[in-house]
Chains A and B, each alone.
Chain A
Amino acid sequence: MTASSAATAVGMRPAGYALVRLGQGRFLLHRRAAVAAGVLTLALATVCVAYLCVGESNVPPADVLKVLFGQPSANELVVGTLRLPRMTVGLLIGAAFGIAGALIQTVARNPLASPDIIGISQGASALTVGAMTFGITSYAVLPYLSIAGGILAAALVYAFAWRGGLHATRFVLIGIGFAIALRSVTHLFLTKGDYLVAQQAQIWMTGSLNGRGWDEAAPLAWALLLLLPAVLWAARAQRTVSMDDDTATALGVRLGRVRLGLVLTGVVLASVATATAGPVDFVALLAPQIARRMTRTAQIPLLCSALMGALIVVVADLLARRLLSPTELPVGVLTAAVGAPYLIWLIIKGRTGGKA
């Protein structure tokens, strides 16, 4: 049985895929996607070492590796206590934004439907900044408020854009409207608090990794670990959503539920990341689009999107730390400076999608 079925599997193997055997199991692996993931991992590792080396005081790579492998070193404090936790937060939120963008873009079939354009980030900001001005500054509470705000904003936009179906244009336009209104609510909260709170909130709103440490990294890592099953489910479900509606229905897929599940996973991921570092603009828009161009797959590749998101955030934060040193810019300033021109390019090229 094994020989013949293996032969058919090889014979029916789609172009560009390799058959991988792991003990009893076999699965198809997209060659180009695997190569892209490998390249991205290498690039990410290089950038991470560079991130740990460069700063106010430069540390030689050998010392960085020593710290990473737990050997005693004079640079323990700078690398292990200051830079490493901050980088970890950057990696995690980058990956989360990357996957969130990939999922929401898959469902909307539109690269523009990323959380920072359709009001999800702004919803998270509004609730969080509101809480900050009313004196809630503990990181035990703020993330939950941020998540609630993001989900609430997404639900509102979804509900108002729904009219016997979800039309991508309507969805994006209403999302932009909500984004503007929620931003003005956030500005209102900014004027209510005292000056120090306003400054803290302003920096948070831009998306910043300044002063993030293990205290923020640990809950974030736990939250992402909890979301991992949902992401694994999403990676499979993604394929059914990209079929056209008739085929999917004929195959017995409950499209509505699958879409809702994917969007919900994406929104929660984006909100969790926003809760930790603020809305780091455009990562969710950029990462999936670049990843897809690298792999040339039909679906937006989740793993590559996550790696790409992490790469963007770590590089941007490295630049944010060093560009105007000693002043540290919020990382969101840099991602927006790269992301907005990309969005403009998308609009000019007409890749904005008409229907969903």
Chain B
Amino acid sequence: MRAATSPTTRALVTRRIGWTAAAVAALLLSVLLSLTVGARSIAPAEVFDVLLHGGHSDAAEIVRTMRVPRTLIGLMVGVALALAGTALQGITRNPIADPGILGISQGASVGVVLAIAFAGIHSLSGYVWFAFAGAALASVAVYAIAASGRGGATPVKLALGGAAINALLTSVTMAVLTTKAAALDEFRFWQVGSVAGRDAEVVGQIWPFLLAGTVLVLSVARGLDALALGEDVAKGLGQNVATVRITAGIGATILTGAGVAAAGPIAFVGLAVPHIARAIVGSDHRWVLPMAALTGPVMLLVSDVAGRIVFPPSEVPAGVMTALIGVPFLVALVRRKAVPA
């Protein structure tokens, strides 16, 4: 493996570095867009001025209290969902694995509903734990359903297991919201999936979880590569398949739980981004994971910015925009027969 001096390998490395630089540039551009575009456009120069020197003009207040937290949350949630999707697609060896399709986001949602309605918890640092518990239960349940019976965890069985869990959890949510009407008013703004209007404190509260999940997922990058070759080959290569799956699974659950607790269930980022990342840098997870972490926030921030300008003056939440962008992606994926029946 270390004989990395052959011309083709060098060309691959150059290509990967080039694309990574491009992704960084795209990320910076989307951050800038997210800071400047909105109901009130603020010139980039003014944004920089505010960020560097502060100030008390209207524009400065908007940038500081609204745009900066929103952009930071978009960044973090984008990273979290993209890494979670990549890890899930890796451990299930399944091209359509996504926290939304597999029902893991819905599990986190139910956790949050129960926290709001019964435990009287209204702060993110409080209900993030409920989100974790819900996400973990849902992911275990879906995988158990799909893996049992003939044929193992095929894409269709995973998606159907996800649909079943989604339906079941939705009915639990509805039952709670019917009996506790007050919770609906808080919950309806959360369940649509948006990075707007969240408290700036949220940023400070989710980064430890984000860091923990990222470290877990990155630590098994080599294991995910081996797993991509098949379970038996991975064992032959000396990988402990169970450890890799469990570590990556816990990482993905933490990332999904944190992302959903912060922004609500945002679908399809975890589905689309890993495919884009693999198309760009190949199948090596040590490159795919960082690339996904760079492109995930780009997709989410661009969706968010697009949502601000399609129907002014009102906004379309990022969760709706990602779903509208993600469905054509899923359709293309399924039609291309990337998904074995």
Known: A206-B174, A347-B160. A340 touches B165 (CB 8 A): yes
Within 8 Å of chain A (Cβ to Cβ): is B145? yes
* In the complex, the 6 A-B pairs of residues with the closest C-beta atoms, listed nearest first: A336-B171, A340-B168, A187-B192, A177-B330, A184-B323, A206-B174
Interface of B is mostly: helix
Within 8 Å of chain B (Cβ to Cβ): is A97? no
Choice from B160, B185, B314 contacting A172 with Cβ under 8 Å: B160
Within 8 Å of chain A (Cβ to Cβ): is B276? no
Q: Across the interface, which residues of A come within 8 angstroms of B326, CB to CB?
A: 177, 181
Contact A167 B167 (CB under 8 A): no
Interface residues in B, total, Cβ within 8 A? 53
* CB-CB nearest in chain A for B100: A180
* CB-CB nearest in chain A for B164: A343
CA distance A354 to B181 in the complex (A): 43
Chain A nearest CB: distance from B156 CB in Å? 5
A-B contact pairs, 13 of them (CB 8 A): A116-B167, A180-B323, A184-B320, A185-B324, A187-B193, A191-B317, A195-B184, A333-B171, A336-B168, A343-B167, A347-B146, A348-B149, A350-B151
* CB-CB nearest in chain B for A118: B163
Within 8 Å of chain A (Cβ to Cβ): is B5? no
CA distance A282 to B160 in the complex (A): 13
Within 8 Å of chain A (Cβ to Cβ): is B87? no
Choice from A170, A190, A336, A339 contacting B334 with Cβ under 8 Å: A170
- Of residues 61 to 112 in A, which have CB atoms within 8 Å of B's CB atoms? 112
* CB-CB nearest in chain A for B149: A348
Within 8 Å of chain A (Cβ to Cβ): is B191? yes
CA distance A175 to B157 in the complex (A): 14
* CB-CB nearest in chain B for A346: B160
Chain B nearest CB: distance from A209 CB in Å? 13
CA distance A180 to B184 in the complex (A): 20
Chain B nearest CB: distance from A171 CB in Å? 9
Choice from B160, B162, B189 contacting A352 with Cβ under 8 Å: B160
Contact A344 B192 (CB under 8 A): no
Contact A324 B179 (CB under 8 A): yes
Q: Which of A169, A205, A281, A324 is most buried by chain B, counting CB atoms within 10 A of its CB? A: A169
Contact B149 A350 (CB under 8 A): yes
Q: Across the interface, which residues of B come within 8 angstroms of A163, CB to CB?
A: 335
Within 8 Å of chain A (Cβ to Cβ): is B316? yes
A/B pair count, beta carbons within 8 Å: 154
Known: A179-B163, A341-B168. A191 touches B323 (CB 8 A): no
- A180-B101, A202-B184, A332-B171 are known contacts; what are 14 more A-B pairs with Cβ within 8 Å? A160-B331, A169-B341, A172-B160, A176-B162, A177-B101, A177-B330, A177-B334, A184-B193, A185-B324, A187-B319, A202-B177, A336-B171, A350-B149, A354-B341
Known: A163-B335, A347-B157. A329 touches B175 (CB 8 A): yes
Contact A176 B101 (CB under 8 A): yes
Contact B320 A187 (CB under 8 A): yes
Chain B nearest CB: distance from A173 CB in Å? 5
Contact A336 B189 (CB under 8 A): no
* CB-CB nearest in chain B for A282: B167
Contact A177 B178 (CB under 8 A): no
Q: Across the interface, which residues of A come within 8 angstroms of B167, CB to CB?
A: 116, 281-282, 336, 339-340, 343
Q: Across the interface, which residues of A come within 8 angstroms of B149, CB to CB?
A: 347-350
Chain A nearest CB: distance from B229 CB in Å? 25
Interface string of B262-296 (1 = CB under 8 A from A): 00000110000000000000000000000000000
Within 8 Å of chain B (Cβ to Cβ): is A303? no
Within 8 Å of chain B (Cβ to Cβ): is A258? no
* CB-CB nearest in chain A for B155: A173
Within 8 Å of chain A (Cβ to Cβ): is B170? yes
- Of residues 115 to 172 in A, which have CB atoms within 8 Å of B's CB atoms? 116-117, 160, 163, 167, 169-170, 172
* CB-CB nearest in chain B for A171: B334
CA distance A292 to B188 in the complex (A): 40
Q: Across the interface, which residues of B come within 8 angstroms of A170, CB to CB?
A: 334-335, 339, 341
Chain B nearest CB: distance from A130 CB in Å? 12
Contact B188 A343 (CB under 8 A): no
Interface string of A313-356 (1 = CB under 8 A from B): 00000000000100111101110110111011001111010110
Within 8 Å of chain A (Cβ to Cβ): is B259? no
Known: A174-B330, A190-B192, A281-B171. A184 touches B319 (CB 8 A): yes
CA distance A243 to B308 in the complex (A): 53
Contact A347 B188 (CB under 8 A): no
Within 8 Å of chain B (Cβ to Cβ): is A203? yes
Q: Which of B160, B184, B185 is most buried by chain A, counting CB atoms within 10 A of its CB? A: B160
* CB-CB nearest in chain A for B158: A347
Chain B nearest CB: distance from A325 CB in Å? 11
Contact B157 A352 (CB under 8 A): yes
CA distance A170 to B84 in the complex (A): 25
Interface string of A185-216 (1 = CB under 8 A from B): 10110111001001100110110000000000
Q: Across the interface, which residues of A come within 8 angstroms of B171, CB to CB?
A: 206, 281, 332-334, 336-337, 340
Q: Across the interface, which residues of A come within 8 angstroms of B157, CB to CB?
A: 347, 352
Q: Across the interface, which residues of B come within 8 angstroms of A340, CB to CB?
A: 164-165, 167-168, 171
- Of residues 277 to 332 in A, which have CB atoms within 8 Å of B's CB atoms? 281-282, 324, 327-330, 332
CA distance A334 to B239 in the complex (A): 45
Contact B192 A343 (CB under 8 A): no
- Of residues 109 to 152 in B, which have CB atoms within 8 Å of A's CB atoms? 145-146, 148-151
Known: A190-B188, A202-B188, A347-B161. A330 touches B178 (CB 8 A): yes
Contact A327 B179 (CB under 8 A): yes
